[in-house]
């Protein structure tokens, strides 16, 4: 699948919620509540996505082609029939990488100006 760099760039910078969701889906496909829990634990409790924010983001991300609903179901014993699982598309992964790159560059710039914590 061809990924257009311009299309990737056009989505940056990502809203924080979107970036967090992309990160949560990096390893595995998850359903909504799992995403919230993942973001919560990943940020040490600092970011708690509300239901509205989560699903609004999911809707936009689906329309932008960053994620899609999974057709594969998890193992039957842990599957909840009615739950919707989402997975990262290759395009979504590319966008997440591009955003990470953008943030890294920002941090580097901040560091050069003596703003960043850690090594000065």
Question: What would the x/- binding string for other proteins be over residues 50 to 89, using CB under 8 A?
Answer: xxxx-xx-xxx--x------------------xxx-----
Angstrom distance (rounded) from CA 27 to CA 12: 22
Considering beta carbons, is residue 49 or 96 the nearer one to other proteins? Answer: 49
Which range, of 3-11, 26-34, 96-104, 106-114, touches other proteins by CB under 8 A? 26-34
Angstrom distance (rounded) from CA 91 to CA 8: 8
How near is the Cβ of 86 to other proteins at its closest, in Å? Answer: 10
Of the candidates 74, 69, 24, the residue with the CA atom closest to the CA atom of residue 49: 24
Angstrom distance (rounded) from CA 7 to CA 77: 40
How near is the Cβ of 90 to other proteins at its closest, in Å? Answer: 20
């Amino acid at each position: 699948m061809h990924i257009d760099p311009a299309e990737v760039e056009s989505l940056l910078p990502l809203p924080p919620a979107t970036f967090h969701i992309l990160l949560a889906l990096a390893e595995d496909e998850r359903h909504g509540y799992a995403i919230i829990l993942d973001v919560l634990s990943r940020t040490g409790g600092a970011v708690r996505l509300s239901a509205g924010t989560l699903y609004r983001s999911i809707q936009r991300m689906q329309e932008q082609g960053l994620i899609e609903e999974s057709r594969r179901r998890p193992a039957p014993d842990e599957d909840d029939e009615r739950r919707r699982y989402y997975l990262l598309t290759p395009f979504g992964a590319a966008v997440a990488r591009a955003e990470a790159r953008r943030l890294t560059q920002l941090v580097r710039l901040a560091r050069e100006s003596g703003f960043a914590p850690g090594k000065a």
